Amino acid sequence: MGGTDGDPSASTAPKKRHVGDEEDELSEVEPDAVPQEVREWLASTFTRQLNTSRRKTDEKPRFRSVANAIRAGIFVERIYRRLSSATFLQLPPEVTRILKMPPATLETFLTQVENGYCKYKNPYHNNVHAADVLQTMHYMLSQTGLMNWLNDVEILATLVAALIHDFEHTGTTNNFHVMSGSETAILYNDRAVLENHHICAAFRYGNGTE
């Protein structure tokens, strides 16, 4: 018989794979999206192995895990950029309905709160920290069953308190304000300087006085 029909080894022999085949897994990743140190590590590690000997079977998943890690990092970065570039808030309709609050009013308040957290460019007490504490409070209310013991106004008060707890934080301590004689310390007579400022400043925005 002609061809390869008479040669059983032609159909059963495993197809050889090379390191270049594994590198195709990164074909969709743009070079500029991969950090320089990662590219250097990949080049030094796998080029050396390619020149010496074929990689062992048990080593192959390692390269795939590196590829997946890079893809995961790029995916998270894309989500962050998409959320950071959002120009509008998506408010659940049931929230404004239960609170009997116009969506525009709630959106304006939340925007002012975020701007206040970014006022002093605080590396920790910023808008990300506010969102973290707010989400933590929401989780505690919903997962522990506390929300079943509170009415809508009490739940709103709890969440707003978590949201504004560090509003317009200056990035310094109460003692710093007291010792430096800052205007904020003088205003609150050196007592709970930042805590009083957080609540007072947030209420000014909430009352529409600023």
Q: How is the chain split into domains, by residue range?
A: 13-84, 93-206
Q: Is 7 part of any known ligand binding site?
A: no
Residue with tokens 């205007």: 183
Q: Which residues contact 3 (CB under 8 A, 6 or more apart)?
A: none
Phi/psi for 90 (5° steps) reads: -105, 100
Among 80-89, 92-101, 140-149, 177-186, the least confident range: 80-89
Highest mean pLDDT among 5-9, 51-55, 84-88: 84-88
Residue 69's alpha-carbon distances to 26, 55, 138, 181, 208, in angstroms, are: 11, 20, 31, 50, 47
Averaged pLDDT score across all residues of the chain: 78
Q: How confident is the model at residue 98 (pLDDT cuts 50, 70, 90)?
A: confident
Among 41-50, 86-95, 101-110, the least confident range: 41-50
- Any idea what DSSP says for residue 189? T
Tokens of 171: 């990035």
- In the predicted model, is pLDDT for residue 189 greater than 90? yes
Residue with tokens 């909430």: 206
Tokens of 158: 């709890």
Tokens of 62: 């390692």
H helical segments located in 24-126? 36-52, 60-84, 93-99, 103-117
With contact defined as beta carbons under 8 Å apart, do 147 and 139 qualify?
no
- Give the pLDDT score at 199: 96
Nearest residue to 185 (alpha-carbon basis) of 119, 195, 115: 195
Phi/psi for 14 (5° steps) reads: -65, 140
Q: How far is 162 from 136, CA to CA, in rounded Å? A: 9
Nearest residue to 55 (alpha-carbon basis) of 13, 15, 17: 17
Q: Is 32 part of any known ligand binding site?
A: no
Q: Is 165 part of any known ligand binding site?
A: yes
Highest CATH level, class, for 93-206? mainly alpha
Indicate the pTM of the whole model.
Answer: 0.58
Q: From the CA atom positions of the chain, what is the Rg in Å?
A: 29
Query: How many CB atoms lie under 10 A from the CB of residue 184?
Result: 20
Q: How far is 126 from 117, CA to CA, in rounded Å? A: 5
- Give the pLDDT score at 192: 97
Residues known to be catalytic: 125
- In the predicted model, is pLDDT for residue 65 greater than 60? yes
